[in-house]
A and B are shown apart, each in its own frame.
Chain A
Amino acid sequence: MSTRTRLLVCVAVLGALHLCVACAGFFAPYDPAAQDREHPYAPPARLHFVDAQGGLHLRPFFYAQMLRAGSFDIYEEDRTKATPVTFFVSGAPYTVLGVLPLRTHLFGGGDTPVYLLGTDGYGRDQFSRVLFGGQVSLLAGLIGAGLTLSIGLCVGAAAGFWGGWKDEALMRVAELFLALPWIYLLFAVRAFLPLAVPPLKAFLLVVAVIGAVGWARPARMVRGIVLSAKERDFVRAARGFGAPGGYLLRRHILPETAGVLLTQAAILVPQFVLAEMTLSFLGLGVPEPMPSWGNLLASLQHYNVLVSYWWMYLPALAMVPFFLGYLALASLLQGSAVEYKIEGASSGV
């Protein structure tokens, strides 16, 4: 496979994954906040294809989970009643991307609830919460990366283009931010902001904090590119023709930074998703009832949850395919950047 096809496959897979999360309402069978008090800490439902008589079913079915008499968290499958999984069922209302109101869900269990990843202490469907939590975490990562790259681009371009003492001062500040251990920086910035805030505000706060912390590295990279690009012949020519600085930057210099910015984005998004997870896991980020990949794991800090309800750990694996995609994308982009550079160098000579 050529690099180009690999890149396309990578982007397509990542796009599909993100689409799944963006349309969480459709893929999730339940509302993420809906509580089923009859089923707290229900283990993941087991999908069966072979029934008790040994007959094969193409449509998977499952047994209803019943609390064992006298216990509050031990479930037994009611083998007498098999419920087939039904597809495209009508259920809890939701909106796709915040605009399109719908009621159709990809699958459901009819009257018997089906919890693919089990439920939490309030009987909320973990599978739905993972999907909706992904919206929060990924959006935090994407917006955070966008914010960081914009700040980095502005600072780096300004430093590289102006040069002189302004360059010196900006780069000193960047060094300062690089010297700070970034997880401490994240904590410190968060520490000095209000603790108890409503979910949406907390989300914006977290995004702002994450986005404001990591700008130094991209800024240095952008500065380097701007420094070399501004001495290129075509830029000098344009300057000679009397092009103003803003035009030079916009038309000739900043397009040169696109490759680096893209690569940085592929590296930064998973990092920032992780930052959001860390903050929310520690209770400094997005609070309940809004699900996020971080606060879904927060209950594991309780020893009894860790011991008794292993499926509460499963949300931790949700980001693995995403991170794999981003890692592949980043290494492909880096590889193609190197190729491009070598090509450019040989044709330039």
Chain B
Amino acid sequence: MSTMEVLGRTGQAMSYRLNDGVVELALHRDPCNEIGSVSLGELEAFASTLENLQQRAHTLVIYSDLMSGFCAGADLRELFRRSQTMDKAEALQGVRHFLERIHRVLNLVDAAPLTTIAAVNGVTFGGGFELALACDLIIADKMARFCFPELRLGLIPGFGGIPRLKRDCGNAVVRDLLLTGRSFNASKAQQIGLVSQVVAEGEALRVARATAAQVGKFDRQTAIAAKRFIKPIPHEELRQEIDLFCELFARPEVEAALKKFVESTDAQPYLP
């Protein structure tokens, strides 16, 4: 195969293309790439190809085609609507199933035999932040913002956020983000070691491509071995996170908070 050959697929929520050793996964679901059943299905299909792509690619770049941001996290409106059509036990089972599926996807991204780069802009909240944390490097547009707003809904992050943030940052940072629910800008995220490069507005993808070109110069087997050595997946904590999320989700306070969020017309709905 020519090194310039382009392969790819276009879906409703995302598209990917393989070009000259770099797989680019572009998120493009309005308003801000919320992860619901459609996105999850497409992420699963994409993640299942990762193992095979290693024959042809050295780097995966995940980015958003939307100005609004990288990803605003789980599709809470869909979650709320669905849970209203089911009894409590069924809704809880549905949530657990969804979490187990997204965990499988993010574990595949986390352990992918490629070097993975999240090129983020704008809102990188909740599940969007968790998707970025599964990658090896985060390159952030200076307008990027990171946040775990889940405690405002009476929940914890459910897509692997706490174990992966703990892997990369000090525990004090994790507590600050979780217990205050405040958002960090890209400079702060770089200061705490989360972001590898902060770039000008609109430049994250270009810089990610340049970084991918550098990554491609190294021997792949060495890069894969190095990644396995330095980036262990915290499987046990990830499993515990699903259990704790489901335990919290079962409480009536969460249903009330989700309803308030979904029905809010406030300019700052993510604030309690």
The answer to whether A binds B is: no
Q: Could you list which residues of chain A lie within 8 angstroms of chain B, going by C-beta atoms?
A: none
Q: Could you list which residues of chain B lie within 8 angstroms of chain A, going by C-beta atoms?
A: none
